[in-house]
Amino acid sequence: MKHTQKTALSGVKPTGRPHLGNYFGAMKQFVEMQDEYHMHVFIAEYHALTTMHNGAELRDSIYNLVLDYLAIGLDPEKVTLYKQSDIPELTELTWIFNCLVTVPWLERAHAFKDRTAKGIEASVGLFDYPVLMASDILMPDSEIVPVGKDQIQHVEMTREIARKFNNIYGETFTEPQEHIVEDVAIVPGTDGQKMSKSYGNTIPLFGTDKEIKKAIMGIVTDSKLPAEPKNPDECNVFALHKLITPSDQRAEIRKGYEEGGLGYGDSKKMLLENYLAFIEPMREKRKYFEDNPGIVRQILDEGKSKIQKITQTKMKEVREKVGL
Ligand code: ADP
Ligand code: TRP
C-alpha cells in the first residue's frame, strides 16, 4: 500500500561499478522508498556520456547497473525502472530549456566551476548537465528527488527552470523538492577519505570475494597494538561495522576497541565475514537476473513503455505551448 501519491525520481550514472558509498548513500534509499512513493529510478547514461567515450564500456556499465538495481531489491512491479536513452524526448526538452536559461546562470553550477578551476575545459554537454537533469526530473512531474548532498544545487536549478517555463508559458511543470538522507554519514573509503571512484579507495558492492577481502584487509588504521584501547568512532573499519554488523555483535566489538584486546586485523576479519553474509542474498538475486537476460529485457521494455506514456503526454503539451 502506498501511503502517499507523491511521485519520486532519481538516477545514477553508469560510470563504473557501484561501491558501498553509492549503496548506503543513495541506492538503498530507492529501495526503501518504493513502498511509499510512485518511484521512478533510471540509468543516467546521457549524463555518463559527458565523461565516458567508449561505447562498449558504456553499454556494459548500463546493463550492469540494471542488474545491480534489481539485485539490491528494486521491484519492477513497484518502481518504474528505465534507461534515460529510451526517452530521447529528454534531449528535446533540454533544448527547449536551453533556450530559456542563460550562460552566466549555468556558469554558477558547482560541477562546472570545479572542472574549470582544475583547468579542465568543460564540454558543452558537461556545461549543460544541470539542464538535462532538470528534464529528467520535470518530465514526469517529480515532487521528491532523493539525492546526496552534492546534488542539491541541481535540484534548486531544476526548480528555477520550472518556474521560468511556467512564468512564460503558463503552469506546466511541478517544482520538485530534494530529499536528503541526513543520517547517512559519508561512507569512508579504504584510505579514510570519502569513498569515491575518483579516489581509487572503493569497496565494490558486487566485488568478488577476493576483491572484497583485499579491500577490507587493506583499510588504513593507526598502528595501535591489539591490547591497546582504541577509539572505535575514529576507526575506518568500525565505520563500516556501523553499516553492516548486527547491533549486538557491534556492541561487543566496540567494547573490544575501548577496553583493548581486539586488534584491527581481527576487526577486519569480522567485517569481511559479515559483509559476505550481508551481500549473499543480493548476489543470488543478481545471479538469477544474469542468468535470465530475457527477464531483464522484459523489465526494461515495461519500464520504457510506462515512462513513454508519461513523456508523450508531457511533450505534446510542451510543444503546443512553445509553438511547435
Ligand atoms: P563517486 O564519488 O564514486 O563518483 P558518484 O558521484 O557517482 O560517486 O555518486 C553517486 C551518489 O552516491 C552521490 O550523489 C551520493 O549520494 C552517493 N555517494 C557516493 N559516494 C558516497 C559516499 N562515500 N558516502 C555516501 N554517499 C555517497
Ligand atoms: N547527477 C546525478 C549524480 O551524479 C545523477 C542524475 C541524473 C540524477 N539525473 C538525475 C539524480 C535526476 C536525480 C534526478 O548522482
DSSP per-residue letters across 299-322: HHHHHHHHHHHHHHHHHHHHHHHH
Q: Is the CB of 195 under 6 A from ligand 1?
A: yes
Cα of 11 vs centre of ligand 2, distance in Å, is 5
Confidence (pLDDT) at 183: 66
Query: Quick one: pLDDT band at residue 185, thresholds 50, 70, 90?
Result: low
Query: Which atom of ligand 1 is nearest the CA belonging to 197?
Result: 3
pLDDT per position as a tens digit, 99-154: 999 999 999 999 899 889 999 899 999 999 999 999 999 999 999 999 888 899 99
Cβ atoms of 183 and 215 within 8 Å: the answer is no
Query: Which atom of ligand 2 is nearest the CA belonging to 12?
Result: 5
237 or 197, greater pLDDT = 237
Q: Is the CB of 194 under 6 A from ligand 1?
A: yes
Return phi, psi of residue 150, to 5°. -65, -15
> How far lies 287's CA from each of 5, 68, 72, 131, 204, in Å?
33, 10, 12, 36, 16
Confidence (pLDDT) at 111: 85
Nearest bound ligand to CA 29? 1
Classify domain 7-186+293-322 by CATH number: 3.40.50.620
**Is the pLDDT score of 44 beyond 90?**
yes
- The length of the chain is 324
Q: Is the CB of 102 under 6 A from ligand 1?
A: no
Nearest bound ligand to CA 180? 1
Domain extent listing, the chain: 7-186+293-322, 207-285
Cα of 154 vs centre of ligand 1, distance in Å, is 15
Classify domain 207-285 by CATH number: 1.10.240.10
Containing 210, the helix (H) or strand (E) segment is helix 209-217
**What's the order of all strands across the beta sheet hosting 177-180?**
79-83, 38-43, 7-12, 144-147, 177-180
pLDDT per position as a tens digit, 212-254: 999 999 999 999 999 999 999 999 999 999 999 999 999 999 9
pLDDT (mean) for 42-59: 97
